[in-house]
A and B are shown apart, each in its own frame.
Chain A
């Protein structure tokens, strides 16, 4: 197992506007679960990844960084348990998690 921690600037200074969380995906071979939570991070975003495949930190950073930027996220914490998913599957799950969080918005 390898644990990776990332922090992205997001939109600095943005106040936390809501709370809530969503969980999508299931940990399995080539699959992953993503929990997305709103948290007061001063507008930043954080991600922690536990993955069964070593040595892909740069790829994770790029995929998650792209997701945060593309969606214009702030005050989001992502927690990921990974069973060796490909970047395309990871991106799919991230978008699915964001959609799931939207369904629960107050």
Chain B
């Protein structure tokens, strides 16, 4: 019998929060009944959401205290507006006072809500600063990516500012989205309709192989929960040495792969015997492959 899976991809933000936290432990901040809605959308004749497309609050995972946020991807593509951003920033700032074992960000977003222009952009800067303030205080910030919108634009920058990223194969991570690249560089450079191309360029498996995502899990809320629980309270170093080491790693990566025309060439160079199969294998087999590759590294 196949064990029941509860898809993270298909779930709403609220269902994801309920599924990740211990039953009954969630306490929401600035909940929908407070009606903290966007001040900008009505001026544009657009409907608002009572929670501005994000759920924030506190709870426990396996009894350990966490702060948690979940973007609702079905509302305006999870895009970050002024109120949405303030809720996220406020949650991260709260961590300085309550010192949870981690702040967990369930990201599902195309980036800044362009309808809110400068307010959305400012919000993104504030979120990133708040992530760094939390990390500087020794509080772990974990990004989780597995929603339909992936993690793009400013939200992708926020994700990469976190201690670590956990994602499902369905997750995508990139600053510019496929349509943006196609519009700017032309369809010869990037065909946004080619989903295989999109996933092998921005998909979570590629990001795992190139060291931007830390762990791949199956599209299953319990799998995400276990992965988050396993790394709670283990913040990564956040100092000048860590930053310089990361810059050196990225410089080395550019030098090593700058001639590659396709992600499969990079995978082959990393030691993957059959790059064409990478897209097809399940999370378990993929993780065994990664373990072998990383074990082979000097």
Contact = CB atoms under 8 A, between A and B. Distances in A.
Interface of A: 1, 21, 23, 26-28, 31, 33, 35, 37, 50-52, 79, 81-83
Nearest to B77: A28
B186 interface: no
Interface string B38-77: 0000100111111100000000000000000000101100
Interface string B96-117: 0000000000000000000000
Contacts of B75: 26-28
Interface string B122-141: 00000000000000000000
A62 to B, nearest CB: 21
Given A27-B47, A51-B47, A35 B32 contact: yes
A51 B51 CA distance: 17
A33 B13 CA distance: 13
Given A1-B47, A35-B32, A81-B47, 20 more contacts: A1-B45, A21-B32, A21-B33, A23-B14, A23-B32, A23-B33, A23-B50, A26-B12, A26-B49, A27-B47, A27-B48, A35-B50, A37-B33, A50-B48, A52-B46, A52-B47, A79-B35, A81-B48, A81-B50, A82-B47
Contacts of B48: 27, 50, 81
A95 B147 CA distance: 27
- Residue picked from A1, A31, A37, A79, most chain B C-beta under 10 Å: A1
A79 B49 CA distance: 11
Question: What 4 A-B pairs have minimum CB-CB distances, sorted nearest first?
Answer: A26-B74, A23-B32, A81-B47, A27-B49
A100 B48 CA distance: 21
Contacts of B45: 1, 52
Contacts of A50: 47-48
B124 to A, nearest CB: 22
Contacts of B49: 26-27, 33, 81
Interface string B12-42: 1010000000000000000011010000001
Contacts of A82: 47
Contacts of A1: 42, 45-47
B251 to A, nearest CB: 42
A82 B75 CA distance: 11
Contacts of A27: 47-49, 75
A33 B50 contact: yes
Nearest to A23: B32
Nearest to B35: A79
Among B47, B49, B72, B74: residue with most chain A CB under 10 A: B47
A38 to B, nearest CB: 11
A26 to B, nearest CB: 4
B72 A26 contact: yes
A79 B50 contact: yes
Given A1-B42, A1-B45, A52-B45, A23 B74 contact: no
Contacts of B42: 1
Contacts of A21: 32-33
